Amino acid sequence: MIASPLASYSAAIANILRLPGTNNFWLNDGYGSTATMDGGSYSNCSDPHQPGVDVVTDYLKAVGVKPNCEPNAYYLLNNYNPAYVGNGTLAPTVNGPFTIPPTSKKHISDTLNAAKISWAYFGEGWNDYLIDPNRATNPAGFLYCNICNPFQYLVSTMTSEQQRETHIHDTTDFYNDIANGELPAVSIVKPNALNDGHPASSKLDLFESFTHKIIDELKKNKDLWATTAVFVTFDEGGGYWDSGYIQPVDFFGDGPRIPMIVVSPYSRGGRVIHTYQDHVSLNKFIERNWRLSPISVRSRDNLPNPETASDNPYVPINRPAIGDLFDMFTFEEGESH
C-alpha cells in the first residue's frame, strides 16, 4: 500500500537500521505516539538520504535486485485503518489516528472491472459493521476486519455506491451465491476475528471449520464445483522463525513461508509444490487465467515465473521471481476456468 506523499507524514518516517541487541527490530518502528506520530510508520524508500534506506539499497544492488520504489511516495509499513468506512465516507475520528489517506493507485479490482470480470469481497460481519463502524457503540461490528479488506482503502471502490454494493458483501451473501450458482468469478472470503485462526485471538480449528463449510457448500452445487478452485491461505505465520529461503524481491523483500492449500477438481492433490510463491501469485493466477495485463509497470505481478536448479526447486535462479500457481493444477495449455 502506497500512501499519498503528504508532508504531515515526515515525522513518521521509519529508521530501518537495526536496533542494537535485536535481530529484527528497527530503531524507529511501530505505531508510535498518538500525540507526535513519531513511530516510523512510513518510508520514502526512493530517497537514499532517509534513515537506513542506503543500507537496504546497497544490499539490493549487491545481489542484483532493484528497490522498485516510486519517487517521492511514502510506503506504509504497518497496519493502518482504511480512510473509508462502510458507507463510503471518510471517518478518521471513527477509525482513530492511524488512518491511511485515500489511495487512487490501480488495483486488481480496477483490472477486473475493465475486463468486465465479476468479483466480490465477502467479509464476515460486514453487515454489522455497515450499520455502525464504531467499536465503542457497536461491538458486533468490531468482529469485522476493516484492515483486511484491501478494497476499503480505494477511491475507485469506496466513493461509488454502485461499486460498494456490487463488490463488497457479507459471508451470508457468499453462501446464498453458492446455493444459487451465481458466485462471482473472483470471490475473496475473509472470516471474522473469531473464526480467522489468527494467533492469540482465534483458534486454528475454527478457521478449519469455516473453510470446511465453504468447500462442502461448493461441492453441493456440482456445476459450480466443476469450475471452481479454492485457495486457502494465511496472512502470516504466527511470528515463528522459518529456515526457508526468503527472496529479496524489492526494497521491502518478502516474509517467512505460510501455508497455502488448493482445493479443486483440477488440482493435482497429494503433493507439495516447491515453487516460490507470494501473495501476489494470486494476482498472477487471475491475470494468466483471464489473459489480463499486470496491474502496473511497478507491481510485483510483473515478476517472471521462477526458474530453478534441480537440486533446489524452491530458490529461483532468475530472482526476483514468483510463481503464478498454475503448476498446482492439471489445466491443459491455454485452458481457462
Judged by phi (left if over 0) then psi (alpha if -120 to 50, else beta), residue 169 lies in beta
Q: Quick one: pLDDT at residue 138?
A: 87
Kindly indicate the confidence band of residue 255, based on its pLDDT and cuts at 50, 70 and 90.
confident
Residue 302 near residue 266, CB atoms below 8 Å: no
d(CA 33, CA 156): 31
Residue 302 near residue 320, CB atoms below 8 Å: no
Q: Quick one: pLDDT at residue 240?
A: 67
Q: Quick one: pLDDT at residue 111?
A: 97
- Which pairs count as long-range contacts for 171-176, CB under 8 Å and 24+ apart, including other chains? 171/122, 171/123, 171/124, 171/126, 172/127, 173/120, 173/122, 174/120, 174/122, 174/214, 175/217
Burial (Cβ within 10 Å: 0-12, 13-18, ≥19) of residue 322: buried
- pLDDT tens digits, residue range 276-326? 999 999 999 999 999 999 999 999 999 999 999 888 889 999 999 999 999
Tell me: pLDDT of 95 over 90.
no
Q: Which residue has the higher pLDDT, 96 or 218?
A: 218
| Full DSSP string of 104-138 | ----HHHHHHHTT--EEEEETTHHHHHH---TTT-
Kindly indicate the confidence band of residue 9, based on its pLDDT and cuts at 50, 70 and 90.
very low
| Kind and range of the H or E run holding 218 | helix 204-220
DSSP code at position 10: G
Kindly indicate the confidence band of residue 3, based on its pLDDT and cuts at 50, 70 and 90.
very low
Alpha-carbon distance values, 261 to 42, 290, 314, 332 (Å): 33, 21, 17, 21
What proportion of the chain, given as a percentage, has pLDDT over 70?
88
Residue 229 near residue 266, CB atoms below 8 Å: yes
d(CA 191, CA 197): 9
d(CA 204, CA 36): 38
Mean pLDDT in the chain? Answer: 87
Residue 36 near residue 11, CB atoms below 8 Å: yes
- 160 phi and psi, to 5 degrees? -115, 115
d(CA 2, CA 16): 17
Residue 108 near residue 151, CB atoms below 8 Å: no
DSSP code at position 233: E
d(CA 301, CA 219): 31
Alpha-carbon distance values, 20 to 17, 25, 30, 78, 122 (Å): 9, 9, 16, 21, 43
Closest CA to 191 of 235, 131, 155: 235
